[in-house]
Amino acid sequence: MNETKDKIRTFIVDNFLFGNEEGLKDDTSFLDGGIIDSTGILELVSFIEETFSISVDDEELIPENLDSIDNVVAYLERKTG
């Protein structure tokens, strides 16, 4: 899953942190850290759906699935598992 984690991290850094990943840990909350807002979550979902060929259901749009790199990777493991 390191490749998956790397893809998620690269997307977050490139699209929301403008190349500066300083302070971004795998368990950093995107929302609490001010990294991603609600619109950004939709961008993240679109990226996940396109990159990993899955569909994210409305009921899956919860912080436990999408609020950190670790959460996204764990969600993808469950979803594709």
Overall average pLDDT of the 7-17 stretch: 97
**What class, spelled out in words, does domain 2-80 have in CATH?**
mainly alpha
Amino acid identity of residue 31, one-letter, is L
Q: What is the 3-state secondary structure (H, E, C) of 33-62?
A: CCCCCHHHHHHHHHHHHHHHCCCCCHHHCC
Q: What is the pLDDT of residues 15-45, one digit of tens each?
A: 999 999 998 999 999 999 999 998 999 999 9
- Report domain extents, the chain: 2-80
CA distance 57 to 18: 28
Average pLDDT score, the chain: 95
Q: Is the pLDDT of residue 1 over 80?
A: no
Q: What is the pLDDT of residues 44-79, one digit of tens each?
A: 999 999 999 999 999 999 999 999 999 999 999 999
What per-residue confidence (pLDDT) applies to 81? 80
